[in-house]
Structure 1
Amino acid sequence: MTASTIGSRDDLISYLQAALALEHATIPTYLTAYYSIRSTTNSDAAHIIRVTAVEEMLHLALVANVLNAVGGQPDLTRPGFVPAYPAHLPDGEQDFTVDLRPFSPEAVETFCRIERPGRAPSADARLVPTPDRERPPLVASPTAEGMHFYSIGEFYAEIIEGLAELAAGDPELFCGKPDLQLGPEYFYSGGGVLITVSDLDSAQRALRFIAAQGEGLDSGMYDADGELAHYYRFRQLQLGRYYQLGDRPDAPSGPPLGIAWNEVYPVKVSARLADYPEGSELAAVAREFNADYGAFLALLTRAFNGEPSLLEEAVCDMFRLRDGFNRLVRNPLPGSDGLHAGPTFEIPTDRAVG
């Protein structure tokens, strides 16, 4: 087995900061697909995407709890935290990018690729070389230059093992302030509970829960609470039926799941501010949306740094962004051959936390 790439508390904190960025990076792409769906249509798909986005917020909070427990400081406002889309995620096959895309077969395929289970053929193959390219993967190894992970699950496996090795040699590893921990009373999604972290066992349980709920890596199709892992929820959209207990992964036998692919606003894929006519009303709306999203990330950062009651407000804020989404996705973008506007998630870098 290869040596751990986590040899110190600083290494561990770097990995956990990367985990925050990874868990967040899926939220803009899920929300863009969700809000591109025309109202009163595609209710099954909309529900699946919405619930998954909320659970990504739970994953963010769980990572923040681990980070706080080992003396780190979660910061979702730092420059570069929000990737420039299209973005690469850590997958061994290097066969896709994550885009801001309207709900479509292509979007669902990307969702499945993000969440797909991916266990490396051996522990030595957990890390793989990163090819030279213009956009590096979002979660390369913070400590092994030029390397990234075979899958998201293997990324978390590295952190879980690194935690164990550090804890064995450092009885003071879990030195964080207990009052920074977010408990279950601050999150009511129904898709899992917040685990407060104070020691190795609780830290590893929190990280294993994230991997299982996303990919079903250790527990198969269902997580420990009996909920379908994200990957299999999205597979239902591809296969056209809901899963029932006992179904094989590629053969759901539940009720049919209806999808109307044409009941969607044709949002321009991964639009950037440069695509908006200078001085136009749409450009102003896009900038306003980005500022509002920056405020949402600042609110989350405060929740993770001693104001836990703000977490519930932040979850609500994620869906209060609906008005900004609607002002963009319902309007054609000039010069784009009939495509509609969309949020760009280019967050102003001068926003201070507080």
Structure 2
Amino acid sequence: MELDYSSDGIVRLLRTPPEQRSLPWLKDALQQAIMLELATLPPYLCGMWSLLQDTDSGKAAAAAIRVIVFDEMSHLGHVCNLLTTIGGSPRLADESVLAPYPCPLPGGVRPEINPDLEVYLGGLTKDSVEMYSQIEAPEEPLAQFAAAEETFTSIGAFYTAILEAFRVHQGEIRGTRQLTRSMGHHGEGNSLFPIRTFADVEQAITVIKEQGEGTDKTPDNPFPGHAGELSHYYVFREIFRGRKLKKIQETPPKWDFQGDPIPFPNARPMGRVPKGGWANDPGTVPDAAVQAELDKGNTAFSAMLHALEKAWEQDRPEDADPHMDDAIGHMFALKGPALKLMDMPLPNDPAKRYGPEFRFVATP
């Protein structure tokens, strides 16, 4: 399958009858999953960095989104391990697999709660938190959204299809080019572990699905970093609704946003990045100072992707570790330019600020 973020690759993969889902089908599906995991990180990072931690709610929101960001990075790692264990090679440092914000989710994924969802880069607002929760929404939320009349392809359904394909192709699990990394301090499911058996596959996919969506019985994150941690969807819904999620009925279990109030946090007023980047809109063309910070951020982002791709190309873990260390260093280097940009007013709207673009640079 040709790699193209804007294609309907996931939808086409799921149209393939289960009995025809071959090993190449599984490799294509996992590359699409990599694109999906990569697409969520920049919007969450923009929201997190925009937060002003001048109130308790701001500090709590920043901490909660930081946990989610690390979860999503771990999910990307799990998917890369799933691909290399069956002989595939993750593609990350390639403009064709990256989200051209603003854009839909990749592969034709359309959440039931909003089939027209547009993913964009901007500061933390009510609208952006709504977008985050729509990305993470389970097929049947325990609270907040009503079921849609029409059924669309959800992220959870896609990962379920991947799991079932692995069940058929268990003999192809080789345990090759597996990265390991101890990250239990970020959450029980965050450490990268080698995928050598079907049970390992089940564990990795369970972590990805349930950290984001919860389960069909509880909104809690089954793989938390701290006691009482909710899955991503319900964290975002609490921020949006301005109330803690509370269990209001035992039998059958029922939850609603009737707990303690949560004031909406203050945030830097980052504007929405236009299609193609700030320079692509005549009203937001950067001056030299802004462009310098944009270049720093784009270069760090691209270098991170190159380092990650290189890490999963190595046959021996000891050869992969330096590349993974480089990737982590580049990830932390993203924050400085982002914060500087969020203090730089837009020329066509001084009440709004610039922010990172997450554009790919072919040779960082």
Provide TM-score, normalisation by structure 2. Answer: 0.78
Distance 1:57 1:289 in 2: 18
Cα distance per residue 1:277-314 (max 9 Å; x no partner) = 36532123212311111011122223333313543553
Q: CA deviation at 1:184?
A: 4.6
Q: CA deviation at 1:107?
A: 0.8
Check whether the contact 2:246–2:256 (CA below 8 A) recurs between aligned residues. Answer: no
Cα distance per residue 1:29-68 (max 9 Å; x no partner) = 0011111123534111111111101110010111111111
Distance 1:86 1:110 in 2: 12
- Structure 2 CA distance for partners of 1:349 and 1:2, relative to 1, 3 Å: closer
Q: 1:320 aligns with which of 319, 328, 333?
A: 333
Name stretches of at least 5 consecutive residues in structure 2 with no aligned partner.
Answer: 1-14, 142-149, 315-319
Q: Report the equivalent of 1:132.
A: none
Check whether the contact 1:186–1:308 (CA below 8 A) recurs between aligned residues. Answer: no
Check whether the contact 2:50–2:124 (CA below 8 A) recurs between aligned residues. Answer: yes
Q: Secondary structure at the match of 2:120?
A: coil
- Structure 2 CA distance for partners of 1:242 and 1:313, relative to 1, 3 Å: farther
Check whether the contact 1:236–1:252 (CA below 8 A) recurs between aligned residues. Answer: no
Distance 1:64 1:158 in 2: 17
Check whether the contact 1:6–1:162 (CA below 8 A) recurs between aligned residues. Answer: no
Q: Does 1:343 align with 2:356?
A: yes
Q: 1:213 aligns with which of 186, 211, 214?
A: 211
Instruction: Please identify, of 14-23 and 219-228, the stretch whose mean Cα deviation from structure 2 is larger.
Output: 219-228
Alignment RMSD: 2.7
Check whether the contact 1:119–1:217 (CA below 8 A) recurs between aligned residues. Answer: no
Check whether the contact 2:187–2:223 (CA below 8 A) recurs between aligned residues. Answer: no
Q: Report the equivalent of 1:40.
A: 54
Q: Secondary structure at the match of 1:308?
A: helix
Q: CA deviation at 1:191?
A: 4.7
Q: 1:75 aligns with which of 91, 109, 120?
A: 91
Q: Secondary structure at the match of 1:249?
A: strand
Superposed, which structure 2 residues align to 1:1-354 within 5 Å?
Answer: 3-4=17-18, 7-41=21-55, 42-89=58-105, 90=109, 91-92=111-112, 93-118=114-139, 150-167=153-170, 171=171, 173-177=172-176, 180-185=177-182, 188-192=185-189, 193-218=191-216, 220-225=218-223, 227-243=229-245, 248-253=254-259, 255-260=260-265, 263-271=266-274, 272=277, 273-275=279-281, 276-277=284-285, 280-306=288-314, 307-308=320-321, 310-311=323-324, 314-315=327-328, 317-350=330-363
- Structure 2 CA distance for partners of 1:18 and 1:217, relative to 1, 3 Å: farther
Q: Report the equivalent of 1:142.
A: none
- Structure 2 CA distance for partners of 1:266 and 1:94, relative to 1, 3 Å: same
Distance 1:310 1:187 in 2: 20
- Structure 2 CA distance for partners of 1:10 and 1:2, relative to 1, 3 Å: closer
- Structure 2 CA distance for partners of 1:6 and 1:348, relative to 1, 3 Å: farther
Q: Report the equivalent of 2:147.
A: none
Distance 2:285 2:164 in 1: 50
* Letter of the 2:182 counterpart: E
Distance 1:63 1:102 in 2: 28
Distance 1:305 1:245 in 2: 46
* Letter of the 1:274 counterpart: N
Q: How many residues align?
A: 316
Provide TM-score, normalisation by structure 1. Answer: 0.80
Name stretches of at least 5 consecutive residues in structure 1 with no aligned partner.
Answer: 121-127, 130-148
* Letter of the 2:348 counterpart: G
Check whether the contact 1:186–1:311 (CA below 8 A) recurs between aligned residues. Answer: no
Check whether the contact 1:82–1:345 (CA below 8 A) recurs between aligned residues. Answer: no
Q: Report the equivalent of 2:3.
A: none
Q: CA deviation at 1:101?
A: 1.7
Cα distance per residue 1:162-194 (max 9 Å; x no partner) = 111233xxx3x11342xx222353664225233
- Structure 2 CA distance for partners of 1:6 and 1:22, relative to 1, 3 Å: farther
Q: CA deviation at 1:161?
A: 1.1
